[in-house]
């Protein structure tokens, strides 16, 4: 790549106009409004109570990006742009909307320098409290976050279910299990297995609906609670699915301590998430840091995290192109 092309490429990589244009388009619902023959910018601006001149500028850039196209009636969403519609069922609209949990959190990246200087999340600097406190205070953020978590794993569930011998266990506790989609898939594939999901109350209610919809009421139990509090005791295995990377070491230690306390010397702790140096994307390292103060830990970091709790890493299983399953056992188990 010659010097001039290199400079242009870096300039495109660094620009904020395009990512913010896409987010604002989704937040305004433009991909959903500009259907059929399209609509004139003035009419849409009046409906949305925004500046018609500024909206025309936004639509001009969206046209350059191929999200919308000009028509005799005004602007129309393209087939490509339809990926941003709320009903596209791909998670993008929920991810980009500025009033969703993810969209709001992404704006914390303007404070990335703070995170690099301190090793702490940038989210509290921007919003005055951490991400999880915001979710507790604003139910709509909790709902969009739970929906995002369900969406991001859905396509990988068949690999998650098939890639590990879940039938080794009789009872499995899904710690911070969200709406219950992974646990429901695992239980459905293994009729002899019983499950128990723990999550905060509003999320736990939705998990109960997931289990009922899958005919699992007799084998899946739900407890409303935090993974910082005592967990249901005596299960064969405790599953942390995309949990630990959301937390700094102090909080990750607290979560593991609760799992070990509940599991006892014979129970296993199963950690499913991206692992640094194996399948984790470098971009997600920064996302975890800025949003939550966490990171995609490497294997040696997981070993160091587990050791004070009497856990040793037994096996590492690649489940998908993004996630591994790390199985921990008690150091005293023979």
Query: How does pLDDT run across 18-58, given as a tens digit for each residue?
Result: 999 999 999 999 999 999 999 999 999 999 999 999 999 99
| Number of domain units in the chain | 3
| CB 119, CB 294: distance < 8 Å | no
Domain end among 58, 84, 110: 84
3-state DSSP assignment of residue 330: strand
Please indicate, yes or no, whether residues 211 and 187 belong to a single structural domain of this protein. yes
Tokens (6 digits) for 266 = 């014979």
pLDDT score recorded for residue 106: 96
* Mean pLDDT of the residues in the chain: 94
| CB 234, CB 242: distance < 8 Å | no
Please indicate, yes or no, whether residues 112 and 75 belong to a single structural domain of this protein. no
User: Any residues with CB less than 8 A from the CB of 318 and at least 6 apart, and which?
Assistant: 163, 278, 279, 324
Query: How does pLDDT run across 196-232, given as a tens digit for each residue?
Result: 999 999 899 999 999 999 999 999 999 999 999 999 9
pLDDT score recorded for residue 1: 63
User: pTM of the full predicted structure?
Assistant: 0.87
Maximum distance among all alpha carbons in the chain?
A: 75
Would residue 318 count as lying in a domain? yes
Would residue 94 count as lying in a domain? no
- Rounded to an integer, what distance in angstroms lies between the CA atom of residue 296 and that of residue 46? 45
Enumerate the active-site residues: 245
Would residue 306 count as lying in a domain? yes
Would residue 141 count as lying in a domain? yes
Higher pLDDT, 49 or 4: 49
Would residue 266 count as lying in a domain? yes
pLDDT score recorded for residue 89: 87
Task: Give the chain's radius of gyration (CA, Å).
Answer: 22
Which domain covers residue 70, as residue numbers?
A: 3-84
Please indicate, yes or no, whether residues 144 and 158 belong to a single structural domain of this protein. no
Would residue 54 count as lying in a domain? yes
Alpha-carbon distances of 195 from 30, 166, 177, rounded to whole Å: 42, 11, 11
Q: Is 59 exposed, middle or buried (0-12, 13-18, 19+ CB in 10 A)?
A: buried
Please indicate, yes or no, whether residues 255 and 298 belong to a single structural domain of this protein. yes
Domain end among 30, 56, 84: 84
Query: How does pLDDT run across 297-316, given as a tens digit for each residue?
Result: 999 999 999 999 999 999 99
pLDDT score recorded for residue 334: 60
Please indicate, yes or no, whether residues 223 and 305 belong to a single structural domain of this protein. yes
Mean pLDDT within 239-260: 96
Please indicate, yes or no, whether residues 288 and 181 belong to a single structural domain of this protein. yes
Query: How does pLDDT run across 91-117, given as a tens digit for each residue?
Result: 999 999 999 999 999 999 999 999 999
Please indicate, yes or no, whether residues 233 and 288 belong to a single structural domain of this protein. yes
Please indicate, yes or no, whether residues 179 and 276 belong to a single structural domain of this protein. yes
Does residue 280 carry a pLDDT above 80?
A: no
pLDDT score recorded for residue 40: 96
Please indicate, yes or no, whether residues 126 and 67 belong to a single structural domain of this protein. no
- For residue 126, the domain's CATH number is 1.10.287.1350
- Rounded to an integer, what distance in angstroms lies between the CA atom of residue 86 and that of residue 93? 5
Q: How far is CA 180 from the centre of its chain?
A: 14
User: Any residues with CB less than 8 A from the CB of 183 and at least 6 apart, and which?
Assistant: 172, 174, 177, 195, 197, 207, 211, 220, 239
| CB 273, CB 324: distance < 8 Å | yes
Please indicate, yes or no, whether residues 163 and 304 belong to a single structural domain of this protein. yes
Does residue 121 carry a pLDDT above 80?
A: yes
Please indicate, yes or no, whether residues 158 and 145 belong to a single structural domain of this protein. no
Q: How would you label 120-141 residue by residue, b for 16+ Cβ within 10 Å and e otherwise?
A: bbbbbebeeebbbebbeeeeeb
Query: How does pLDDT run across 146-184, given as a tens digit for each residue?
Result: 888 888 888 889 999 999 999 999 999 999 999 999 999
Please indicate, yes or no, whether residues 143 and 158 belong to a single structural domain of this protein. no
- For residue 304, the domain's CATH number is 3.40.50.150
Count of CA atoms in the C-beta half-sphere (13 A) of 92: 17
């Amino acid at each position: 790549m010659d010097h001039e092309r290199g400079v242009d490429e870096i300039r495109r990589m660094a620009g904020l106009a395009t990512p913010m244009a896409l987010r604002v388009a989704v937040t305004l619902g433009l991909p959903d409004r500009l259907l059929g023959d399209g609509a004139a910018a003035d009419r849409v601006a009046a409906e949305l109570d925004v500046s018609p001149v500024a909206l025309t500028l936004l639509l001009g850039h969206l046209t350059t990006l191929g999200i919308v196209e000009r028509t005799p009636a005004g602007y129309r969403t393209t087939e490509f742009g339809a990926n941003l519609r709320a009903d596209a069922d791909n998670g993008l609209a929920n991810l980009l909307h500025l009033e969703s949990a993810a969209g709001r959190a992404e704006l914390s990246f303007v404070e990335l320098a703070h995170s690099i200087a301190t090793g702490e999340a940038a989210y509290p600097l921007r919003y005055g409290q951490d991400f999880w406190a915001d979710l507790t205070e604003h139910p709509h953020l909790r709902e969009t976050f739970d929906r995002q978590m369900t969406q991001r794993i859905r396509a990988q569930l068949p690999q998650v279910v098939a890639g590990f011998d879940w039938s080794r266990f009789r009872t499995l506790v899904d710690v911070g299990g969200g709406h219950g989609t992974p646990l429901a898939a695992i239980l459905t594939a293994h009729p002899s297995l019983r499950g128990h999901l723990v999550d905060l109350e509003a999320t736990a209610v939705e998990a109960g609906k997931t289990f009922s919809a899958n005919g699992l009421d007799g084998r899946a139990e739900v407890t409303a609670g935090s993974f910082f509090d005592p967990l249901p005791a005596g299960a064969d295995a405790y599953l942390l699915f995309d949990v630990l990377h959301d937390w700094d070491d102090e909080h990750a230690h607290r979560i593991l301590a609760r799992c070990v306390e509940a599991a006892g010397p014979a129970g296993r702790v199963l950690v499913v998430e991206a692992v640094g140096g194996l399948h984790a994307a470098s971009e997600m390292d920064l996302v975890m840091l800025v949003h939550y103060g966490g990171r995609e830990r490497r294997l040696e970091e997981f070993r160091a995290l587990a050791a004070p709790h009497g856990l040793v890493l037994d096996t590492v299983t690649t489940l998908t192109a993004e996630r591994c399953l790390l199985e921990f056992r008690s150091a005293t188990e023979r």
